[in-house]
Amino acid sequence: MAGLSGEQVREGLGRLDGWEWDPQEVLIHRTVRLPDFLAAVALVNEVAQAAEQADHHPDIDIRYNTVRLALSTHSEGAVTDKDMALAARVDELIAATAQTLG
């Protein structure tokens, strides 16, 4: 799987919600603030299941009610289509969580 060019990454981010590209770290990332710690952990559990299904695992950092997700295809040393696909799935999970929390 080939890494995406900078233009392809920027194009892909245009279809995502809240993701940013860090070309220095060679990853895309998104930070989500939730109502409390338990909501943050619940989201992380949902993301973990999606990651297992995709066989592609993000770096996840939980700080009380804030979750930071970072995606990069380490074996390629680049952002790939796999990262963009999982980011889109994460966006769906975040939207569903927001609806549930109302």
Distance CA 67, CA 39 (A): 10
pLDDT in tens, 33-57: 999 999 999 999 999 999 999 999 9
H/E element, 23? none
| pTM of the predicted model as reported, rounded to 2 decimal places | 0.93
Categorize the per-residue pLDDT at 86 as very low, low, confident or very high, splitting at 50, 70 and 90: very high
Please tell me what DSSP assigns to residue 5.
P
